[in-house]
Amino acid sequence: DAGITQSPRYKITETGRQVTLMCHQTWSHSYMFWYRQDLGHGLRLIYYSAAADITDKGEVPDGYVVSRSKTENFPLTLESATRSQTSVYFCASSESIFRGDEKLFFGSGTQLSVL
Amino acid sequence: RKEVEQDPGPFNVPEGATVAFNCTYSNSASQSFFWYRQDCRKEPKLLMSVYSSGNEDGRFTAQLNRASQYISLLIRDSKLSDSATYLCVVKGGNQFYFGTGTSLTVIP
């Protein structure tokens, strides 16, 4: 039971480069989310998706792009990385967002450093 | 104003102690509330859901006060393994809003 996996686990890149963080889940959950976690801010939602080909912005979407061509994959792309995007990124999935079924399952996270 | 606010702590308590964390939320229309646990450098994991006035699971009790817009988590008989950061989460619409977390260290 692989669950939800993120790759890479660690990434170092330079300012201006494009970076893609991968997220894959094996449960066929409808909902997927990308969060970033920074000291003093907690987890903040970047983008989320309710199903394949349906995505929507969260609190902090600027500088990020997502796609969801298949239910199981939800990659996050930083089009031109900036130092302020240095963070720990968590992908999460949920079978539903309706009352009683709202459990989020998180991947192990990607620690991204932009130099 | 932040959607969810928590006291960051840290809380340092001896084994066997009872400790309580509070969390306040700003959106009075919120319907679903959760406590997640996050161990150092690891992913958050659901500890408890709170849909009505409260929920109890073993040594853990979560309570909801809608009038005052706060949620609490009570841990009784603390264990060393309870050391972690506890995240208060409130759902609004299709989004989950996380507090910054409260750090707990249980001391032998």
Taking the CA atoms of B83, B101, A67 and A32 in sequence, report the sign of the dihedral they define.
positive
pLDDT at A62 over 70: yes
- Nearest CB to A99; choose among B4, B51, B99: B51
Question: In terms of Cα–Cα distance, which of A3, A25, B50, A41 is closest to A33?
Answer: A25
Asked whether the beta carbons of residue B91 and residue A102 sit closer than 8 angstroms, the reply is: yes
Structure confidence by residue, pLDDT tens digits, B62-92 = 999 999 999 999 999 999 999 999 999 999 8
- DSSP per-residue string spanning A29-56: -SEEEEEEEETTTEEEEEEEEEETTEEE
- Which pLDDT score is estimated for B9? 86
| Chain A touched by B31 (CB under 8 Å) | yes
Output the pLDDT for position B52. Answer: 79
**Residue B1 pLDDT greater than 80, yes or no:** no
Cβ contacts of A107 on chain B, cutoff 8 Å: 43
Average pLDDT, chain A: 94
Whether A2 and chain B come into contact, CB under 8 Å, resolves to no
Report the chain A residue with the minimal C-alpha distance to residue B38: A106
Cross-chain CB nearest to B43 (options A58, A99, A106): A106
Nearest residue to A38 via CA among A88, A78, A84: A88
